[in-house]
Amino acid sequence: MEGFPDLRTNIGVYVSDLVDFLDRSLEGFFDFIFLISSKLINGIEDFLLWTPWWLFIIAIFLLGWYFKSVLSGVLYASFIFLIGTFGLWEDMMTTIAIILTAVLICLVIGIPVGIWMSYSSGFSTVMRPILDAMQTMPSFVYLIPAIFFFGLGNVSAIFATLIYALPPVIRLTELAIRGVDKEVIESALSFGSSRWQMLRKVQLPQALPTIMAGVNQTTMMALAMVVIASMVGASGLGEQVLVAINRIDIALGFEAGISIVFLAIIIDRVTNGVAEKFQKHKGVSQ
């Protein structure tokens, strides 16, 4: 049987050369990102570890109570208490610090990009295939440039998580701004609103529930990267899962895995509750 002709294009080599060039040319920029990211992660982690365990559990209860119900608050607080009984309290705090850092950076980048896409059809056309690639590329591929630019550790985990978790908040921000009622926009224009006033006082408040749905999706996708990120040296619950796999330790694997599930449930329900609060407030204001 005749094989495929030898038409190798070496695109991978060109990509590798590009990464080498970026690493040499932007070394100072990557060092700056590493410094800021590491300080942010360490600052959040130190604060969480400084917080007394009982106060943190009370805070989780209050979040569940405010955004859902008293029963939800009790359930979420029980989840956190259980994680502590597994001996994974510090690992949980590290995981939360990584997730919070990744989500904060995603929001700082993603919401402005989504707004820009909503205002510029040309920019939106360029960004959509890039976002498609970011979402469909296998997650493990992101680990390679992360290691190359930042070495092993939590910062590489943040970089890989950013690529994977950024698209939802960008897409839903664009969708939300474009979906604002045209009559509302026309009314604001008739009163002489500038573009900035229109965005700040009309479009963003109207779009906030959908944007919060994007925040929820971004947060959940960041949490989904916890175990994968452990392969580039990220600590936390994902590291414990990886250790359990290497040791074939069923007990540790179950405890670390169910702890991630507990965090996922709490984060999902609380962020959904925030979106519902905004939706109700929007309905009342209308």
- What percent of the chain is modeled with pLDDT above 90? 26
Q: What confidence tens digit (pLDDT) does each residue in 97-155 have?
A: 988 888 898 999 999 999 999 888 888 899 999 888 888 887 777 787 778 778 778 88
Confidence (pLDDT) at 3? 67
pTM listed for this prediction: 0.84
Domains and CATH numbers, the chain: 11-50+86-285 (1.10.3720.10)
Q: Residue 1 is encoded by which pair of tokens?
A: 């049987």
